[in-house]
Amino acid sequence: MDSRPIGIFDSGAGGLTVLHECLVTLPHEDFVYLGDGERCPYGPREAEEIRRFALELASYLERSGVKLVVAACNTAAAAALPYLQERLEVPVVAVLAPEAHAAVQATRNRRVGVLATEATIESGRYADVIHTLDAGVEVVSVACPKLVPLIEAGGPNDELLAAVREYAEPLRDAQVDTVVLGCTHYPLVRPVFERVFGRGTTLVFSADETAREVAETLHRKGVGNDSARHGETTFLTTGSPAEFAALGERFLQLPVAGARRVALDELAFEAA
């Protein structure tokens, strides 16, 4: 038995969708969630800067005493996962690989679409991981810069629906039968994606697959907590705790209380 918490980091509040699925899957585990609200969003940033941010967040969590780190930001995972796994001593699980694996298993015609932020698409990581699993799968990737701001603004609405239809069009043209929704914001408007793509297309969401990967990793490493207990969650943010709590309650669908602010210079010190 290992009573240490699990650390989860994200560029802001989007990773709370991953936390939600982890809480459902592992209600007996403790979690520490760290959102980088001060520097959100990561999507438009350069890969080197994203890697530095990811290392700062992950290192802070490791030194706080977590037993496993979850990179719940698709953009950070695409830019920094191997780098984090080299630098940290605790295991690192990221949203990207579980989604890619699920997509390869789900596709029937070996045509997979990916919708994600600009930085995630530019990294090419989804295509790389998918092709490692099945080199014959055709991957069609589309950057979706409009979606995160629209979702955070309070979607779904007509503008959001129009944007999803716009980004879905090249995937329809390519006749993909499976779509990876490569951003932790996207589960918040799941019905919109389901409406646009219909029942004939399999949608792969990061939160669902990542929670399964976390559970499997804990079991494999033998570091699970006592299954009879009730877990607790600590919330940290580099931005405004009040703003994080307001946005976080939408993402988590549970009260977000007692969030504490972590100054950026604390993160820089931890990664030094």
Q: How far apart are CA 19 and CA 34, in angstroms?
A: 11
Q: Which long-range contacts (CB under 8 A, 24 or more apart) does 252-260 make?
A: 252/16, 252/17, 252/19, 252/20, 253/20, 254/20, 254/23, 256/16, 258/234, 259/235, 260/234, 260/235, 260/236
40 is catalytic: no
**Catalytic option among 22, 40, 73, 144:** 73
**Catalytic option among 22, 40, 144, 183:** 183
Residue type, 253: Q
In angstroms, how far is CA 76 from the centroid of its own chain? 9
Q: Is 198 in a helix, a strand, or coil?
A: coil
Sheet with 178-182, strands from edge to edge, namely 138-143, 111-116, 178-182, 202-205
144 is catalytic: no
Active site residues: 73, 183
